[in-house]
Amino acid sequence: DAGVIQSPRHEVTEMGQEVTLRCKPISGHNSLFWYRQTMMRGLELLIYFNNNVPIDDSGMPEDRFSAKMPNASFSTLKIQPSEPRDSAVYFCASSDLIAGSQYFGPGTRLTVL
Amino acid sequence: DAKTTQPPSMDCAEGRAANLPCNHSTISGNEYVYWYRQIHSQGPQYIIHGLKNNETNEMASLIITEDRKSSTLILPHATLRDTAVYYCIVRGGGGGLTGGGNKLTFGTGTQLKVEL
């Protein structure tokens, strides 16, 4: 298996632009998680899905952030409009609902100028 | 989920065993202990987990005290590639469609530095 796939790996954009991050979970996994990591705040859970249904989005910082999971093999995290303070590494992870161990992707490094 | 306490940093000589402690004194009966590590600029990597019995896999061993209030992750023969931040996480045992059992809360972890 290729593991969790994220794209793009790096994104540089200007303040006010829309940013879309993509994630393909490991085949057969039915939980998907979006995290954000910064030096100041560490690794924070933004939202997670079970069987494509959002379960907990309490970590989503503002209405500018939204996440979707239209099917079991794809999810997006969108920031609109982006701000410099959104600059961070965004990780996607997936797991089996029963086993619970999460497997992380390589991350997307976002820089908002 | 119960809170965990880890030392911020540790050093280990290459080839020696690295013993990383974690305190989780408020752990409840159905909570598991998970260990992850994050090598610089990479995504966190699952290492091992356990409930109350000691566990071993190809990466590490997990020793959980009888009262479950603390645990130790053991890397038997540390190499330079094991230099990373190690996170000890206590996770609820619930699951299912609406359970928060799969949710992980990462703290600040222990920065392990393996040196020659």
Q: Is B98 within 8 Å of A48 when comparing Cβ atoms? A: no
**CA-based nearest residue in chain B for residue A88:** B41
Confidence (pLDDT) at A75 = 98
Chain B: closest CA distance from residue A87 (Å): 15
Type of residue at A10 = H
pLDDT above 70 coverage of chain B, percent: 91
Question: Does residue B98 register a pLDDT over 60?
Answer: no
Q: Which of A101, A108, A109 best tests the B interface by mutation, with the highest count of B CBs <10 A?
A: A101
Answer whether B8 touches A (CB < 8 Å). no
β partners of residue A55 = none
The number of angstroms, rounded, from the C-alpha of B50 to the middle of its chain's C-alpha atoms is 10
In which element (H, E) is residue A89 found?
Answer: strand A88-95
Condensed to tens digits (0 to 9), the pLDDT of residues A29-86 reads 999 999 999 999 999 999 999 999 999 999 998 899 999 999 999 999 999 999 999 9
Residues of A in contact with B97 (CB under 8 A): 50-51, 53, 55, 97
Cis peptide before A106 (omega within 30 of 0): no
Q: What angle do CA B11, B14, B18 make, to 5 degrees?
A: 50
Q: Is A106 within 8 Å of B96 when comparing Cβ atoms? A: no
Question: Does residue A98 register a pLDDT over 80?
Answer: no
Question: Does residue B100 register a pLDDT over 60?
Answer: no
β partners of residue A56 = A48
* DSSP helix/strand/coil, A41: coil
Cis peptide before A25 (omega within 30 of 0): no
Q: Are the C-beta atoms of B63 and B54 separated by less than 8 Å?
A: yes
Whole-angstrom Cα distance, residue A77 to residue B61?
36
Confidence (pLDDT) at B92 = 73
Question: Does residue A23 register a pLDDT over 80?
Answer: yes
Give the pLDDT mean for A8-15: 97
Of the candidates A33, A101, A105, which has its C-beta nearest B49's C-beta? Answer: A101
Condensed to tens digits (0 to 9), the pLDDT of residues B69-95 reads 999 999 999 999 999 999 999 987 544
pLDDT, greater one: A78 or A96: A78
* DSSP helix/strand/coil, A68: strand
